[in-house]
Structure 1
Amino acid sequence: MPCRDCTVTLKNVALQLGLPIDRSPVMGVRAIAEPAALCYSLLRASPGDDKSNFSGLKFTWLKVNFECLSINATEEELMYAARAYVMHIIRGVLMPDANNNKVHLQYLPLLADLSNVCSYSWGSAVLAVLYHELCRTTKPDAVDIGGCLILLQSWALY
């Protein structure tokens, strides 16, 4: 097997997932000063936790708050639901972490302008998380794996 075929590459990510790989890097702020305000401004809802300083949104909270839209939903409500759906896809499919059931708030500001979402190199971020998880899983005490396993399985198949 030639060396180029021994690992998942950015080209594989682009071909198999259709994600952009040559755009602006996906970089979020790790510490958000007012997470509740950020959530309310971009999702029109905020977790009812007593903690005022949270860093992620639970999948269960996203599901409860955005699972159903009314027939008379406004375009603004559709945008809130779309952001919540993309947040779920980011952490649930593209960049899952096997250790928790939350999506970090660092991605939410990237979704402020939904027409600008395609300007980020999501494929590079997905591949970086997959490599990180593959590396982490080589440790003897690792019991699970995260990362985009759909990409890994698809690459191995083809």
Structure 2
Amino acid sequence: MVRTRGNLSRRGSHDALESSAQGAARRRPTTLARRRGQQEAAVVQDDVFEHEDHVARIIWDGQDRVVKVVSHIKKVKKLGTPHPSVLPFVVASGLSPLCDILYEYPDIGLILGFVERWHPKTNTFHLPIDSIEILMTLLGVDRAMVSNELNQSRGGQVRLSWLRELYDSCCDNELWEFAARAYLLHLVGCTIFANKSATYVRTHYLELFRDLPTCRRYAWGVVALVYLYEQLRDANFANTKQLAGYLPLLQAWIYEHFPALGRKQLRDTYVETEPHARHYVTGRATSATADVRVQLDALTYDEPIPLMSSSLLMLDFVTIDDRWRDYNQFVVVQVVPAPVPFSCLDGYL
């Protein structure tokens, strides 16, 4: 996630009462230290740093913070062990081990050192070495090659150009599974998991392709939609300068629901069994944002938004209101279970 500057062993203590000038001098790294930090650290500028409030940003800028770690373990000891007549109830609850796992003095520095490397989107700790084994195992590259790439990419991610070179090499040597994983990682890094770097893809996505026959059963459409939702949420902040995510998904949705908007053409060879997004052909010409704002502001209820499928009827507003009031009558009760978890229909995306 980030290699911090300066001495962090004092983080969380209250003895940092030195002058601001001394503190700034202590935190300011030398040119060599900064270069080493950029090479060895797992700096996730594309994912973590897009959040202005993440602690990694202020630490990378040479600042620090004091965090109070709150622990109530001593209060458990103060209450003591359960009364013999109460103990059976505690054991039955399944919580009895908590009575014995009592770290009275938490290692504050150790805990905070890991906390500041927590990634809010992936719910994982980002460490400089967390990607070496997975790349060696699933892409068939040696440690030296992996280390060199992670140092160049600043850890936790690899360059898309590196994946293209690796893919060609694996194909030349007929290493088909390694080639397939390199291709798929590059594919999702350019589509459903596209980030703002335009250069890197996170290495943890490679775990999705550990078992190649199984990954077909993943709900890729749901994942793409969730990731796009996160990007749309971030793009609504006034200080956001970039938008990433699987934008063809959003663009195709607009084409389907607002056919009068956008500059596109219909593909003559399209068939209904294909994904809806393939129905459209886009060119280099783009819409002006100011014009789209005017068109959206001019929408009225007289022109209902079309549904995705012609097999579904467009309901009038009175009927919609009635169904909202009496929704129990319209609850789907006959659901066909999926043959395997996370399975979905072909072409759902």
TM-score normalised to structure 2 length: 0.34
Residues 102-117 of structure 1 correspond to what in structure 2 (within 5 A)?
Answer: 102-117=200-215
Amino acid at match of 1:44: G
- Name the SS for the 1:114 alignment partner: coil
Q: Deviations over 1:129-151 (max 9, x none)?
A: 11111111111122221111001
Q: Secondary structure at the match of 1:103?
A: strand
Q: CA deviation at 1:30?
A: 5.1
Does structure 1 residue 44 correspond to structure 2 residue 140?
yes
State which of 197, 219, 240 in structure 2 corresponds to 1:142.
240
Distance 2:178 2:125 in 1: 22
Instruction: Work out the CA distance in 1 between the residues paired with 2:140 and 2:189.
Output: 20
Matches within 5 A, 1:23-34: 31=126, 34=130
Cα 1:98/1:143, change in 2 over 3 Å:
same
Q: Deviations over 1:36-79 (max 9, x none)?
A: 2211111012532474x821111011112213522x61xxx111
CA-to-partner distance for each residue in 1:11-50, whole Å, 9 max, x for gaps? xxxxxxxxxxxxxxxx785547542221111101253247
> Displacement, 1:96?
0.7
Secondary structure, counterpart of 1:108 in structure 2:
helix
Superposition pairs for residues 1-158 of structure 1, below 5 Å?
A: 31=126, 34-45=130-141, 46-47=145-146, 48-49=148-149, 51=151, 54-67=155-168, 69-70=171-172, 73=174, 77-158=175-256
In the aligned structure 2, how far is the partner of 1:34 from the partner of 1:140?
34
Which residue does the alignment assign to 2:319? none
Instruction: Describe the shift of the 1:133–1:92 C-alpha distance in structure 2 as closer, same or farther (beyond 3 A).
Output: same
Equivalent-residue separation in structure 2 for 1:132 and 1:125 (angstroms): 11
Q: Which amino acid aligns with 1:92?
A: C
Closer/same/farther in 2, CA of residues 96 and 35 from structure 1, 3 Å limit: same
Conserved in 2, the CA contact under 8 Å of 1:97 and 1:146? yes
Distance 1:117-1:96 versus aligned 2 partners, 3 A rule: same
| Runs of 4+ deviating beyond 3 Å | 27-34
Structure with bigger RCO (C-alpha 8 Å, 6+ apart) = 1
Whichever of the two has the greater Rg, that structure is 2
Structure 1 pair 28–138 and aligned structure 2 pair: CA distance change class (3 A): closer
Partner of 2:21: none
> Cα deviations across residues 92-121 of structure 1 (Å, max 9, x unaligned)?
111211235211121112211100102222
Taking structure 1 as the reference length, the TM-score comes to 0.70
Q: Which amino acid aligns with 1:143?
A: K
Matched length: 128
For 2:114, the equivalent position in structure 1 comes to none
Partner amino acid for 1:144?
Answer: Q
How much is the aligned-residue C-alpha RMSD, in angstroms?
A: 2.5
Partner AA of 1:54 in structure 2: G
| Structure 1 unpaired stretches of 5+ | 1-26
**Counterpart of 1:24?**
none
Q: Please, which runs of 5 or more residues in structure 2 have no aligned partner?
A: 1-121, 257-349
Bigger fraction of residues in helix: 1
Contact 2:150–2:156 (8 Å) recurs in 1: no
Task: Give 1:140's aligned amino acid.
Answer: A
